[in-house]
Amino acid sequence: MQTDLWFFERKAAEKGFKAIAGIDEAGRGPLAGPVVSAAVILPNSFPVGEVIDSKKLSSLKRRRLYEGIYAQAVSIGIGIVDPIEIDRINILQASLLAMAMAVQNLNPQPDYLLIDGTFPIASSIAQQPLVKGDNLSVSVAAASIVAKVSRDNLMERYHQDYPQFGFSQHKGYPTRAHKEAIHKYGSSPIHRLSFRGVKEHLPQAQSQRIWNF
């Protein structure tokens, strides 16, 4: 397995590309909340250190690295797609849309994209999807950290509005406590009504929000 986390950035640079962005998303699996993507352009001097796939890091370490990435990155863009749009177009398409939005929000703009996953995004910029890219590219790994912490921050804010669901603890993922809360209280305005684990508990009027399922 490739362990040089600058390998793909360096290969792109050898082809003449100057501004290489890593893109990743957080929040495909939860029952509630948005999907959040981040695009990150790092300087060549950025130290890899402990920057790896965000899922392998503790919350405390993620937040520390998040601050370091923001302090040193050339550019960071965020893309957010809400639960209503997720229900309308499905979670895969919503994730790709959020990634494209994150790229659009970069300033300066990149000329090459390294995208976590198997699918390209809607962009005219040269791009390379990387399966498990957050383990292969420092830029993608940095994007995974930024996306995860950004989404966690949103879910902690949503917890203030809907404390009965415990979003500050599980961030919308299908934990036992979250499923029990849905069974007890029904869904909130930020739940994904098309997802199994939510749609079974919907009254008929509320289920009309779901399209294409």
Per-residue pLDDT tens for 178-196?
999 999 999 999 999 999 9
Number of neighbouring beta carbons within 10 Å of residue 176? 8
Number of neighbouring beta carbons within 10 Å of residue 69? 21
| HEC letters along 139-196 | HHHHHHHHHHHHHHHHHHHHHHHCHHHCHHHHCCCCCHHHHHHHHHHCCCCCECCCCC
Dist CA 24 CA 5 (whole Å):
15
Report the pLDDT value the prediction gives residue 52, as an integer from 0 to 100. Answer: 73
Structure confidence by residue, pLDDT tens digits, 138-192: 999 999 999 999 999 999 999 999 999 999 999 999 999 999 999 999 999 999 9
Q: How far is CA 132 from CA 53, 76, 174, 206, in A?
A: 9, 21, 23, 37
Query: Does the structure show a pLDDT above 60 at 204?
Result: no
CB 154 within 8 A of CB 173: no
As a whole number, mean pLDDT of residues 16-29 equals 98
Structure confidence by residue, pLDDT tens digits, 32-84: 999 999 999 999 999 888 787 667 888 999 999 999 999 999 999 999 999 99
Query: Does the structure show a pLDDT above 80 at 123?
Result: yes
Q: How far is CA 165 from CA 27, 65, 171, 176, 184, in A?
A: 17, 28, 10, 11, 10
Domain boundaries, the chain: 7-160
As a whole number, mean pLDDT of residues 191-206 equals 85
CATH 3.30.420.10 fits 7-160, yes or no: yes
Report the pLDDT value the prediction gives residue 114, as an integer from 0 to 100. Answer: 98
Reduced to 3 states, what is the DSSP secondary structure of residue 54?
A: helix
Report the pLDDT value the prediction gives residue 208, as an integer from 0 to 100. Answer: 52
Dist CA 91 CA 77 (whole Å):
20
pLDDT band at 205 (very low <50, low <70, confident <90, very high): very low
Structure confidence by residue, pLDDT tens digits, 70-98: 999 999 999 999 999 999 999 999 999 99
Report the pLDDT value the prediction gives residue 50, as an integer from 0 to 100. Answer: 76
Report the pLDDT value the prediction gives residue 1, as an integer from 0 to 100. Answer: 43
Tell me the Ramachandran region of residue 80: left when phi exceeds 0, alpha when psi lies from -120 to 50, beta otherwise.
beta
Query: Does the structure show a pLDDT above 90 at 2?
Result: no
What size, in residues, is the chain? 213
Dist CA 121 CA 112 (whole Å):
12
Q: What percent of the chain has pLDDT over 70?
A: 93
Report the pLDDT value the prediction gives residue 203, as an integer from 0 to 100. Answer: 77
Dist CA 142 CA 158 (whole Å):
25
